[in-house]
Amino acid sequence: MCEVIVTTAGRPDEESFRLAKQVGDDLHVPFVPRKKRSVAKLSELYKANVMVAGKNRLEYYGKGSSAPFFFHPDTAAFRLKRLQRGETEPFLEACGLEMGDSFLDCTLGIGSDSIIASHVVGDSGSVTGLEVDPVIAYIVRRGLKEYETADAVLKGAMERIRVINCEAVEFLKRQPDDAFDVVYLDPMFERTIEESVNFESLREVGSHHPLTEAWVREAHRVAKKRVVLKAHFRSTHFEEFGFERKVRLTSKFHFGVLEKR
């Protein structure tokens, strides 16, 4: 993990100090008092990424970055609303998820797709999300449990997701055959797919692992039903790794499906 420090918001109270110190202890990173210094100044002084523990959310600034990464359900909130209105969801069509299924997201990131999956598989199913960066995993894990919303459906879907800080191929190699119904791959490629500011901040502080033959092979072994890939519409990975491309004419990204049987 790169050098990381944690500090308080600009005008901290006792609760802010308590929260910042707790985050520092949880992540085993040093707590640095703010002392009215800017995030940019702290990052420069300590040559580190900076975690700001505020009252309402945790913000994570990469060195030289002006926009922080923080947890937010992002597109999941309005996608759930569309599902409740009976509209279709390309992600779900590709995954073929059903109530009670187990879903493994090898590239959790902000977790929007996993939230949709969690809603569909329900209490009888399970959603596990892998995130290789320990700080991102920590922020998303807490965010999924603590994000305040009056939407009970969204809240329930978020709370059911299990977040594991682990590299995907390493995790897959430890799993038995057919361990999850659907295994999902959405690696960060050289071309930007998402347009949200928070996704851009994730690109700056997150870890980037290219898709490999070993990754696809292990995912296929662990999947009981299918492996699903999300990638830019110009990506050659669909054909390279044997996925059936689901063309979406008006979208910047496509889904690919690799059936188990």
Question: From edge to edge, which strands make up the β-sheet containing 244-246?
Answer: 161-165, 126-131, 102-105, 180-185, 223-232, 253-259, 244-246
Asked if pLDDT for residue 105 goes beyond 50, the answer is yes
Closest C-alpha among 206, 218, 134 to residue 168: 218
- Band (pLDDT 50/70/90 cuts) for residue 210 is confident
pLDDT at 55: 81
* Structural domains for the chain: 4-61 (3.40.50.10480), 76-259 (3.40.50.150)
CA 217 to chain centre: 22
Q: How many residues does the chain have?
A: 261
- Cα 75 to Cα 115, 200, 217, 223, distances in angstroms: 10, 14, 30, 26
User: CA-to-CA distance for 241 and 28, rounded, in angstroms?
Assistant: 39
pTM: 0.90
Instruction: Give 11-59 pLDDT, tens digit per residue.
Output: 888 888 999 999 999 999 999 999 999 999 999 999 999 999 988 899 9
Asked if pLDDT for residue 143 goes beyond 80, the answer is yes
User: CA-to-CA distance for 259 and 261, rounded, in angstroms?
Assistant: 6
pLDDT at 64: 80
Asked if pLDDT for residue 220 goes beyond 60, the answer is yes
- Band (pLDDT 50/70/90 cuts) for residue 260 is confident
pLDDT at 208: 59
Count CB atoms within 10 A of the CB of residue 161. 22
What is the arithmetic mean of pLDDT over 139-163?
96
